[in-house]
A and B are shown apart, each in its own frame.
Chain A
Amino acid sequence: MITARLILERLDKNQDLLERREQPSRSFVNQFMKFLYMHHAQVGYTITDINGTSRSVSPGGTGSWHNFVPHLVMGAPGGGIWTPYSSYSVNTNLWAQMLPGELVGIVVGAGSTSPTPGDYRLEDRIPHGRTGKSGTKADFVNGGFETGNLNGWTIGTNDTEWNPVVSSAAWSQKVGSYFCAGRSTGSVTEGSYWYIRQDIDLTNVTHIGFTIGRLSYGASVNRWCRVYIGGNLVYYRDMSGSSEANWPLILNVQDLTGIQTFEVRNYLQSVGMTYDWTGLEGFTTYNMKQLEYGGCEVINQSYANPNGQFTIQRYFTNNSAVPITVNEVGLQSPGCYPADNTPTYAFLMARDVVPGGIALAASEILRVTYVVQITV
């Protein structure tokens, strides 16, 4: 029989113990069993990743692919460090086989819904970082353009042939019925731009999210996008090319406060055709409370009949300056299809809910320990 104990310890910044909870871990989930099955049976399998997408994974292939298959790995570097989880040496897809430390090993979240075997992600995972503000966040007016017009936005252009409009055309990033498009209506001169802008109170906003896209209309046309907040350039993207490409963005505005003018400005090189060339969609704000993920250790393997055990442990530091309550804890591991050299994804292996949650004040530390144990 294999069980796991979950230990949660709240520490002050000097690592003195303030609170300790211990509970039986209840909840290895489907993905854990599917990986185990896959390696027992040595067959490929389709398993749901933490984004809810079905992924083909396999236990390996012939030859050297067997020699490192990163499945069931629960050790990880600190939250912001990207590491390759690959059975291959350096190759063209290496970047796609990397995951940040915050997606591997012990993870924590704010969700409190009871676990089920079908859980494939934490309900509300707390990301790695140190943002967080108190109070209720403001949001964009008509951030998804679902009014069917540009109400709430101030628009402008330096070329009347290159304008923002609301479009219902096909676009993979469209949410709902409409998005904002840059449309040329005649011969556009190089350096022409249009903008949309909106004043927004960022006092309780930590991040601004939206997607910019290069719509797919054949000709390769140079274009670029600039984002300004309070008149300062905060983001630049060269969007030149022909086929569709999209850039979902989350901009950190933790250090900004008060009412600020948020502006997206889209430039186009000379073009004379009438198309939607550029897409903008889903402007929204977040008050994202984050914890700094330390490295996740797999340690202390020991055996004394009738028991054997090892420990998985991670520290989470609240450097966000606001209280954060952890209600759920999970274990995540990478998974891939080694012989095909395809990207590596993260999969949820276990999920537990902490009754009542454990509240971390600013500067406090949470030490989470899973003790995996067999008993004969």
Chain B
Amino acid sequence: MPQTEIETNLKFKTVKEEEIPHLLVPGEFGAVLELIVKDEDGKVTEKRVMKSQSFVKQFLELLWIYAIGLGEWNSPPYQTKDYSGQLYDMYQCGLNLACNGGIGVTYQGPAVGTGTTAPTITDYALQAQIAHGTGAGQLSYGAVAFGAPASDTSITQFTITRDFANSSGGAITVNEIGLFVRGGNSPAYYFLAIRDVISGGISVPNGQTLTVNYREQVVT
């Protein structure tokens, strides 16, 4: 019998209840966005915690596809717009919403960009996504890590984490953050699920690392 596929490069950590930030109100399902910049010694040079504003259309579409149980051979199929702006047939699949991208995988998991335009519900890509690499204007995308679900008396949350290391030789200002998720089995496509613009941006000096934590949470 075939074995369950489990990524080998995932990291997990436990989030203590006292570390759960309460930024949402009862009835909301959303995300708290935490941005941490660290220098080469691991010292925190900047930290921001804010309410993520912007699940976009593709997230609700993939959730709807789960909810309706849309099969691969349903006709007509449901089409969802991937990060390139191309529409693809989507169906119910256990890989939908996967955001466990590995090192350098820029369209699965948290991603960063320099765009400053306010999000709209129809956004399907970051305005100006920063590429993976060590060249000028590039950041090195780490593997996505996850914090398992944790609860206090009113909130349940889990964390999606990714490091972006700056070895470009100069400072880079990140103005937008996104979360890309997978859709479909074979072939696979990738969709923007969340897009947030960071007021004033956050600077990542050369030699420093930006850690993005999306804490998806629900408040009862």
Contact in complex: B216, A298 (CB < 8 Å): no
Interface 9-residue window, one of A59-67, A173-181, A189-197 = A59-67
- A210 vs B95: C-alpha distance in the bound complex, in angstroms? 43
Residues of chain A with a CB closer than 8 A to B63's CB: 72, 372
Residues of chain A with a CB closer than 8 A to B33's CB: none
Contact in complex: B97, A39 (CB < 8 Å): yes
- A70 vs B66: C-alpha distance in the bound complex, in angstroms? 7
Min CB gap A107→B, angstroms? 15
Contact in complex: B5, A62 (CB < 8 Å): yes
Question: Is A58 engaged at the interface, CB distance under 8 Å to the other chain?
Answer: yes
Which residues of A327-367 have CB atoms within 8 Å of chain B's CB atoms? Answer: 338-340
| A contacts with B, residue count (CB < 8 A) | 61
Contact in complex: A2, B67 (CB < 8 Å): no
Contact in complex: A68, B30 (CB < 8 Å): no
Most buried by A among B57, B119, B120, B157: B57
- A34 vs B146: C-alpha distance in the bound complex, in angstroms? 12
What sequence of 0s and 1s flags, for each residue 303-325 of chain A, a beta carbon within 8 Å of any chain B beta carbon?
Answer: 11111111010000000000000
Min CB gap A284→B, angstroms? 33
Question: Is A42 engaged at the interface, CB distance under 8 Å to the other chain?
Answer: yes
Residues of chain A with a CB closer than 8 A to B64's CB: 298, 301, 310
Contact in complex: B181, A374 (CB < 8 Å): no
Contact in complex: B216, A1 (CB < 8 Å): no
Min CB gap B33→A, angstroms? 12
Residues of chain A with a CB closer than 8 A to B119's CB: 376
Contact in complex: A42, B100 (CB < 8 Å): yes
- A25 vs B218: C-alpha distance in the bound complex, in angstroms? 12
In the complex, what residue of chain B is closest to A26 when comparing beta carbons? B27
Residues of chain A with a CB closer than 8 A to B160's CB: 40
- A285 vs B154: C-alpha distance in the bound complex, in angstroms? 37
What sequence of 0s and 1s flags, for each residue 20-57 of chain A, a beta carbon within 8 Å of any chain B beta carbon?
Answer: 00001111111011101101111110000000000000
Task: Identify B66's interface contact among A28, A40, A73, A303, CB under 8 A.
Answer: A73
Residues of chain A with a CB closer than 8 A to B26's CB: 26
In the complex, what residue of chain B is closest to A27 when comparing beta carbons? B220
Interface 9-residue window, one of B48-56, B167-175, B202-210 = B48-56
Which residues of B56-95 have CB atoms within 8 Å of chain A's CB atoms? Answer: 56-57, 59-61, 63-64, 66-69, 71-72, 91-95
Question: Is A71 engaged at the interface, CB distance under 8 Å to the other chain?
Answer: yes
Q: A4-B27, A26-B26 are in contact. Are A117 and B155 (CB under 8 A)?
A: yes
Task: Identify B55's interface contact among A2, A27, A312, CB under 8 A.
Answer: A2
Question: Is A118 engaged at the interface, CB distance under 8 Å to the other chain?
Answer: yes
Task: Identify B2's interface contact among A115, A116, A303, A339, CB under 8 A.
Answer: A339
Contact in complex: B66, A1 (CB < 8 Å): no
Residues of chain A with a CB closer than 8 A to B95's CB: 39, 42, 59-60, 66
Residues of chain B with a CB closer than 8 A to A309's CB: 60
- A27 vs B156: C-alpha distance in the bound complex, in angstroms? 11
Residues of chain B with a CB closer than 8 A to A42's CB: 5-7, 95, 98, 100
- A26 vs B93: C-alpha distance in the bound complex, in angstroms? 28
Contact in complex: A66, B185 (CB < 8 Å): yes
Task: Identify B158's interface contact among A2, A37, A65, A306, CB under 8 A.
Answer: A37
In the complex, what residue of chain A is closest to B118 when comparing beta carbons? A376
Contact in complex: A3, B27 (CB < 8 Å): yes
In the complex, what residue of chain A is closest to B195 when comparing beta carbons? A376
Question: Is B121 engaged at the interface, CB distance under 8 Å to the other chain?
Answer: yes
Q: Which residues of B contact A (CB under 8 A)?
A: 1-7, 10, 24, 26-30, 51, 53-57, 59-61, 63-64, 66-69, 71-72, 91-100, 119-122, 146, 148-149, 151, 153-158, 160, 181, 185, 216-218, 220
12 A-B pairs whose Cβ atoms sit less than 8 Å apart in the complex: A4-B27, A27-B220, A32-B218, A33-B158, A39-B94, A39-B96, A66-B94, A66-B95, A73-B69, A301-B64, A339-B1, A339-B2
Give me 16 other A-B pairs in contact (C-beta within 8 A), A1-B30, A116-B153 excluded: A1-B24, A1-B29, A2-B60, A29-B220, A30-B151, A33-B158, A33-B218, A39-B95, A41-B98, A61-B2, A67-B72, A117-B218, A298-B68, A339-B1, A372-B63, A376-B55
Q: Which residues of A contact B (CB under 8 A)?
A: 1-4, 24-30, 32-34, 36-37, 39-44, 58-63, 65-75, 87, 115-118, 298, 301, 303-310, 312, 338-340, 372, 374, 376
